[in-house]
Amino acid sequence: QLVYPYDFRLTEKEKTSICYLSFPDSYSGGLGDTQFSFRLRRPGAPRPSACPQDGDYNREAPLALQREAAHYFGYVYFRQVKDSSMKRGYFQKSLVLVSRLPYVNLFQSLLQLIAPEYFEKLEPCLEAVCNEIDQWPPPVPGQTLNLPVMGVVIQVRIPSRVDKAGSSPVKQCNQENLLPAPLVLPSVHELDLFRCFQPVLIHIQMLWELMLLGEPIVVMAPSPTVSSEMVLALTSCLAPLRYCCDYRPYFTIHDSEFKEYTTRTQAPPNIVVGVTNPFFIKTLQHWPHILRVGELRMSGDLPKQVKVKKLAKLKTLDTKPGIYTSYKTFLHKDKTLIKRLLKGIQRKRPSEVQSALLRRHLLELTQSFIIPLEHYIASLMPLQRAITPWKNPPQIRPFRQEDFLKSLEHAGPQLTCVLKGDWLGLYRRFFRSPNFDGWYRQRHREMTQKLEALHLEAISEANIVAWMKDKSEVEIVDLVLKLREKLVRARCQHLPVKEETLQRVSLYIETIIGSLPEDLQAVLHH
């Protein structure tokens, strides 16, 4: 019906997709308000370099919280109430917040404040809210922000890449002078993992492996709320490793990718997709892993745990909750985690404490897996003494999978993890996944930039006058052009170089140009 702010440009295709994704697509008898989220591919999205403010934010934000150029996130507040004045007997409306930031907690909390007002007062309410949001400071990783809206101040800390993994969020500060007292959000994005994973706690190991390997997974849920929470919980369980595959917290039969995902002529894509329409049981039954869950209910007891079943048992109509897969885990189950969570249930431990336990377990598991890879890739970096000022920096040595696997004998995950199992098999399978590719590219890019930075340092400390003594004008001009190019690259790519190093190299360039004949000086200055 309307888009705020007015100048926000959406294509017709994007508008249609947002409309379909903003409503439950199968009968939901539940009346009242529900919240869920979706993720939408942007056709013809601008290249990342087209958004310079993204660069500053993305450099400092954790990988999982970076702004995405190619996708929108949609956060939905849907209301369905009986209303005899309406043709269908119901009032059904959704307010959707669209962003390129995956701040599910912040935006859903914001909608809880705005949506009920909007359904009462309509457009003027949105105008007022947008004016307030326009005044908000940009999200800067590491900063605590106070965000005023509708008489409330939301206080939230934006996570940073340098935060210690697994530490609890920094205690919010500067509250004493804020009136009214702020609504403090413990996290912009973390879900209540314990609640989301309740029916599958005994299979957490298997789900972690499937996510690590980027396997295609369908989550079949009774509502968009359960589907989107489960998908987001799954994608978060690899932190601090980035989940590099596609994911759709909520997906409908009207989606433009529907044909792509349901075709049987090729293997299913590497994606986790959340659905609610029973029709998908038939169209996606060729997928290798299907997780069917019921409504999530918090109770004082460990909820009934779903069973792992063969895919052939997937009934078209009355499908019981379960994990339908023939996957055999590489690692043995961790009994201690389940015992600790059970003890927590018996002691009536708050859900956030249970979630913290679960998050810590998954973090330690991922770190045990990734640390040997980090050690090995660090050993491929050339030695610092091999970097000399007047030669191109040496190359990073290639990643050889077999060499890495040999290194596991004395520096493998067994040093930090008690879990037994076929770690080698898990690594071999990981090498074929988009998550390995994404991790390797990111590390290789960082190491290349580090080499560039070290080379600039070496140049800034060299004796340039001595080098120039026996060089021809052509060689000297060539050096000037190369050094200039290096400086431009260092500034554009924000290389980890001290400002004084860059200034010293700039000074060198001026010194060299000053030693050349005037006609050449004029050309180079021009």
Residue-wise pLDDT tens digits, 368-417: 999 999 999 999 999 888 888 878 888 999 999 999 999 988 878 877 77
- Give the strand order in the sheet containing 32-41: 32-41, 71-82, 90-99
SS3 content of the chain, % helix, strand, coil (to 5): 45, 15, 40
Residues 457-484 as b/e (b if ≥16 CB within 10 A, e otherwise) read bbbbeeebeeeeeeeeeeebbebbeebe
- At 112, which helix (H) or strand (E)? helix 104-121
Distance of CA 83 to the CA centre of its chain: 40
Structure-token pair, residue 84? 């005899």
What are residue 36's phi and psi, to 5 degrees?
-155, 180
Q: What is the C-alpha radius of gyration for the chain, rounded to an integer number of angstroms?
A: 27
How far CA 74 is from CA of 103, 379, 416, 423, in Å, comes to 10, 42, 39, 38
- Give the per-residue SS3 of 88-99: CCEEEEEEEEEE
- At 130, which helix (H) or strand (E)? helix 123-134
- The pLDDT profile of the chain, 526 residues, written as one tens digit per residue, is 888 888 888 888 899 999 999 998 766 666 789 999 999 988 776 655 445 567 788 888 988 899 988 999 999 999 988 888 878 778 888 999 999 999 999 999 999 999 999 988 888 889 899 999 999 999 999 999 999 999 899 999 999 988 876 555 545 454 455 556 789 999 999 999 999 998 899 899 999 999 999 999 999 999 999 999 999 999 999 988 999 999 999 999 888 888 888 888 888 899 999 999 888 888 888 899 999 998 876 666 667 788 888 877 776 656 788 899 999 999 988 888 888 988 998 898 898 899 999 999 999 999 999 999 999 999 999 988 888 887 888 899 999 999 999 998 887 887 777 788 899 999 999 999 999 999 999 999 999 999 988 988 888 888 877 777 777 878 878 887 888 888 888 888 888 888 888 888 888 888 887 777 877 777 777 6
pLDDT for 45 equals 62
Q: Where are the alpha helices (DSSP H) in 415-526?
A: 423-430, 434-460, 464-468, 473-492, 499-514, 518-525
- Degrees (nearest 5) of the Cα angle 440, 446, 448? 100
pLDDT for 243 equals 95
Question: Alpha-carbon distance 450 to 447, whole Å?
Answer: 5
- At 353, which helix (H) or strand (E)? helix 351-378
**CA pseudo-torsion sign 19, 24, 27, 32:** negative
DSSP assignment of 303-319 equals PPPPEEE-GGG--SSSP
Among residues 438, 439, 436, the alpha carbon closest in space to that of 428 is found at: 436
Structure-token pair, residue 20? 């379909």
In this structure, the number of other CB atoms found within 10 A of the CB of residue 48 comes to 15
Question: Alpha-carbon distance 256 to 258, whole Å?
Answer: 6
